[in-house]
């Protein structure tokens, strides 16, 4: 059975949240993946059922980023303004960039436009300023680098 696109969107948002949590708490990848799988997915919040997540896709993104963080970070840094360091970027924005870069680099089955649109929308859910535009530009440049 094909996974609903919405389940992938939920998985992407959860992956960004998990990456942020790992950075903030220094928790290990398996601890965080288990926490999300066991306690956050398929739950009600204030009586409303949350949309189902593609849990396997979520875990693949989070584990893949941890396994390949050096390669992913270098791909992002190549597209930052001269002199900027990844550490200077907001932790949530860093998580968005890493997740999007991972998909662009390691998930050729997902169209570039889908990856960019999804992570720009995630950025809009966290930021009201120029950050979504920054994500759009960075993801577009990384896509040209990786899928040319």
What does the pLDDT read at residue 53? Answer: 84
What Rg do the C-alpha atoms of the chain give, in angstroms? 15
Per-residue pLDDT of the chain (148 residues; tens, 9 = 90+): 445 668 899 899 999 999 999 999 999 999 999 888 877 776 655 555 556 888 899 999 999 999 999 999 999 999 887 778 888 899 999 999 999 999 999 999 999 999 999 999 999 999 999 999 999 999 999 999 997 7
- pLDDT number for residue 40: 72
Q: What is the pLDDT of residue 2?
A: 47
pLDDT at 41: 74
Residue pLDDT, tens place only, 23-60: 999 999 999 998 888 777 766 555 555 568 888 999 99
Domain boundaries, the chain: 86-148
d(CA 71, CA 59): 19
Q: Quote the pTM value.
A: 0.89
The answer as to CATH 1.10.940.10 being correct for domain 86-148 is yes
Provide DSSP, the chain: -PPPHHHHHHHHHHHHHHHHHHHHH---HHHHHHHIIIIITT-EETTEEPPP--HHHHHHHHHHHHHTHHHHHHHHHTTSPTT--GGGS-HHHHHHHHHHHHHHHH-TTS-HHHHHHHHHHHHHHH-SSSHHHHHHHHHHHHHHHHH-
Torsion sign, CA atoms 9, 14, 17, 19: negative
What is the per-residue pLDDT for 52? Answer: 80
**SS3 assignment for 42-61:** CCEECCEECCCCCHHHHHHH
């Amino acid at each position: 059975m094909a996974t609903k696109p919405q389940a992938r969107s939920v998985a992407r948002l959860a992956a960004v949240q998990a990456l942020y949590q790992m950075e903030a708490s220094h928790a290990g990848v398996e601890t965080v993946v288990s926490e999300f799988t066991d306690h956050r997915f398929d739950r009600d919040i204030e009586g409303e059922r949350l949309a189902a997540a593609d849990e396997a896709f979520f875990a693949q993104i989070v584990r893949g980023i941890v396994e390949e963080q050096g390669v992913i970070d270098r791909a992002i840094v190549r597209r930052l303004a001269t002199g900027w360091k990844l550490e200077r970027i907001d932790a949530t924005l860093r998580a968005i960039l890493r997740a999007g870069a991972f998909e662009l680099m390691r998930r050729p089955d997902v169209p570039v436009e889908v990856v960019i649109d999804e992570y720009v929308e995630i950025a809009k859910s966290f930021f009201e300023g120029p950050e979504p535009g920054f994500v759009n530009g960075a993801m577009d440049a990384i896509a040209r680098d990786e899928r040319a």
